[in-house]
Amino acid sequence: TSPWAHFKMAPPDPIIGLNEAYNSDDFPDKVNVGVGAYRCDQGMPFVLPVVMEAEKAIIAEEMDHEYSGIAGCPDFVNLALKFVYGDDCAALQEGRIAGVQTLSGTGGLRVFGETLATFGHKHIYVPDPTWGNHIPIFKNAGLEVRKYRYYDNDSCSLDFSNLIDDMRAMPEGSCILLHACAHNPTGMDPTVDQWKEISNVAMEKNLLPFFDSAYQGFASGDARKDAAAVRMFVEDGHNIAVVQSFSKNFGLYGQRIGALSVVAADPEEAKRVLSQLKVHIRPSYSNPPRHGARIVTKILSDPEKTNDFVHQCMGMAKRIDGMRYELRQALEDLGSGRSWDHVTSQIGMFAYSGLTKDQVVALREKHHIYCTLDGRISMAGVTSNNVEYIARAIHDVTG
Ligand code: PLP
């Protein structure tokens, strides 16, 4: 018998599996609003013009394909850290932030999860709900995944008092995962004052804040604003860790480009932390790929190109925002008896629609519209052409 005969068919991935179902559907007006990947208003993948230019320049330079270091490309890492912490960040200037290039956000989350587990952490707290992959990433890293309350389904808003209560109940020293901006899937972030309170409680309880920054610049269109929580926590004196993804804001999904950084007490401690991150990376994938790092480096090392990036990233954020208003308007015009205010008050890539699992299934089976079972709709897949169709379908299944 085959050595694989006892392998059972695994269930499809709850998010990526949607693509497969969508691709095998031959209905002409089918819509994919499952996976969080930006589409232009014609429904096509979008390569930022500044990225295209950078790629041309890289090819013209006829670079070699040597290995990068275990920690990746140092120029990229320095620029990525400036991007999230800000040029004027004292901790960065003092040389007490350890940073490595990672296999995008996912890879950084895994490396840090493993590092936590190695250094005595038994569990990690994630928001309820959170990006679906957080849970298996941290489980596979060897951590028990615990949840803190984040969102109130009835009011479609942040469940702030319960969030704070749950933080106060966490054991001292626990790691708490926070979405830096554009919380996935709810699109609901704390206000500046609420972040301050989260920071204060984290300090009182000696918690370790770990930021997942997957949407910097993509949320509000302003990279500085989207990094405000990260910067506040560093200023408040937390020794945070941050994972950055360049998938969405730079549109570099398949290049797997990201960074993981840890704020240490002093430069010497930062060096020790860096050495331990490398210990996890080396037997895992040895060293990260070069192309995405080269693209981001070309852009962020040049003020003019950075400016172009900011405008193009803002353009994506604006298109999505426009679609939020169109979808809400279309639902209201159809006479939907529900409130769809949350569609426009949420930010980032997703609308956390409030559709039930049954309604999501009906949307798929009756209308060939694919979104995740929690009712998360990727607004990046909504276009001028399909917004009306989507609104009619949502109205049909919720009416
Ligand atoms: N974290 C969050 C909150 C996300 O939404 C995503 C992608 O959807 C990621 C991390 C990881 O994406 P990537 O591995 O492409 O950087």
ipTM of the complex: 0.99
Q: Which of 35, 128, 131 to mutate to test the pocket of ligand 1 (most atoms within 8 A of CB)?
A: 131
Q: How far apart are CA 65 and CA 326, in angstroms?
A: 46
Helices and strands (DSSP H and E) totals, the chain: 16, 13
Nearest atom of ligand 1 to the alpha carbon of 257 = 16
106 lines ligand 1 (CB under 6 A): yes
Global confidence as pTM: 0.96
Q: Name the pLDDT band for 15 (thresholds 50, 70, 90).
A: confident
- Whether residue 13 is predicted with pLDDT greater than 90 in this model: the reply is no
Nearest atom of ligand 1 to the alpha carbon of 107 = 14
Read off the pLDDT of residues 57-73 as tens digits, 9 standing for 90 and up. 999 999 999 999 999 99
Q: How far apart are CA 72 and CA 70, in angstroms?
A: 5
With tokens 């929690």, the residue in question is: 374
Percent of the chain's residues with pLDDT above 70: 100
- Please check whether residue 179 is in contact with residue 307, taking contact to mean a CB–CB distance below 8 angstroms: no
Closest protein CA for atom 10 of ligand 1: 105
Q: Which residues contact 340 (CB under 8 A, 6 or more apart)?
A: 327, 328, 331, 332
Has 212 been annotated as catalytic? yes
